[in-house]
Structure 1
Amino acid sequence: MPQVHPLSSISSPHVCTDQRFCSSSSTHFTVWTKSLLFNGKGFTVFDSLGHLVFRVDNYASNVRNEVILMDDAGQLLLRLRRKKWSFRKRWEAFRGYPLESDKPKFSLKKSSGFSNNIKAGVFVDGSREIKKCVYQMEGSLCKASCTIFSASGDIIAQIKRKEAKSDIMLGNDVLSLVVEARVDQAFVMGLLIMFNQMS
């Protein structure tokens, strides 16, 4: 896997859901696209030491319009919801249980087109409303490849199929995620989950 080098700064607006997930150095994760609870579709994320960091356990349910990202203890970090009448083209992220009047912390909007290679723009909550697109995503989780770029074009996170140390390729459900320094890891996971739902 190509080395992703730490950035000296992130030019796009900073998103931080929790200080625990904002590291001063780039961080490597292993993403298993299975739920520990249901043994079905989902996300279980481990750090480089094998400790559980994030999980999604309601992903295998019949509710396809809402997904909950939790920490290792099962505490809600982000509630991810498909925007009504958007035909899966726009997803929104909330910090808790949103009321009708609540604004999302950030949202992901798919670019037009029917290609397997998806492009999407990330909109971050400003003072009162969603501002202009400040991040870009491109790739396909079906092909185990996705990159998140800042507004200036710097890579802030990248996910690819994980390779074993013996250079043997693991299954399609085991991925390697690198999140750059000072980028909120929960924010990145929220984007990847929404991106996957669009796929």
Structure 2
Amino acid sequence: MATPPLQPPPPPPAPIVGPQYCAPFPIDLGMVRKLISITEGNFAVSDSSGNEIFKVKRVFNLIHTKRALVDAAGNTILTFKQKKITAHSRWQVFRGESTEPDDLVFTARTSSMFQLKTKLHVFLAGNKSERTCDYRVEGSWAARSCSIYVGESNYMIAQMHTKHTIQSMAIGRDTYAVTVYPNIDHAFIVALVAILNEIDHDKKDKE
């Protein structure tokens, strides 16, 4: 019996935030989350050379919990807004400093109110029905071991893993890394990790 031909890999998904955040090779990003923070930054993101390329900042607002993803020059790339009074932990992500519906990029929510393992469903702005997710995150946030997939497929686009150092533990910081696969929008991946970070904080506040 003839061996069936190998199927070519699926094409990479289109950039979510922008093509400038896609590279034709894997990218390793280092995340430094400040466990005790007196500054405006929630955590910083560095490339493999140690250059800080993103930062997640708190945006002070009396009505909504808001965060911003900014680049190295301080320009706001995305704004995150948490939706209150929902059955799931739900975040909306907008382009730039806007929170207008026309600037919505994607929505992310937990798969259920109570979950032992991390599972986040992501719906792009054009997916109004939200019957099936465009992306999903699965794994264990507690172990800093999560994978990001396209839809309900096994097509993995990024993977998160721990990266503890003696220095990071001594100064009260949690350091971990994310490997973003070729031609995947790494600003989008950082945004998802930022949302997981916020969901974890909310969970701890309620305990």
TM bin, normalised by shorter chain, reads 0.7 to 0.9
- Match in the other structure for 1:198: 199
Contact conserved, 2:164 with 2:174, CA < 8 A, in 1? Answer: no
- Match in the other structure for 2:90: 90
Deviation at 1:80, TM superposition (A): 0.8
Matches within 5 A, 1:5-20: 8-10=9-11, 13-20=13-20
- Match in the other structure for 1:3: none
Letter in 2 for 1:178: T
Q: How many residues align?
A: 186
TM-score by length of 2: 0.76
- Match in the other structure for 1:185: 186
Over aligned residues, Cα RMSD in angstroms? 3.0
Contact conserved, 1:136 with 1:148, CA < 8 A, in 2? Answer: yes
Residues 144-177 of structure 1 show CA distances to partners (whole Å, capped at 9, x for unaligned) of 222111132122111111156xxx7963601011
Q: Which has the larger radius of gyration?
A: 2
Deviation at 1:83, TM superposition (A): 1.9
Deviation at 1:134, TM superposition (A): 1.3
Letter in 2 for 1:195: L
TM-score by length of 1: 0.79
The 1-side partners of 2:61 and 2:141 are apart by 21
Change in 2 beyond 3 A, CA 1:91/1:111:
same
- Match in the other structure for 2:176: 175
**Higher normalized helix content (fraction of residues):** 2
Q: List alignment gaps of at least 5 residues for structure 2.
A: 1-7, 201-207
Change in 2 beyond 3 A, CA 1:175/1:103:
same
Q: List alignment gaps of at least 5 residues for structure 1.
A: 1-6
The 2-side partners of 1:100 and 1:176 are apart by 32
Deviation at 1:196, TM superposition (A): 1.8
Aligned-residue sequence identity (percent) comes to 29
Change in 2 beyond 3 A, CA 1:88/1:80:
farther
Contact conserved, 1:65 with 1:81, CA < 8 A, in 2? Answer: yes
Deviation at 1:19, TM superposition (A): 2.6
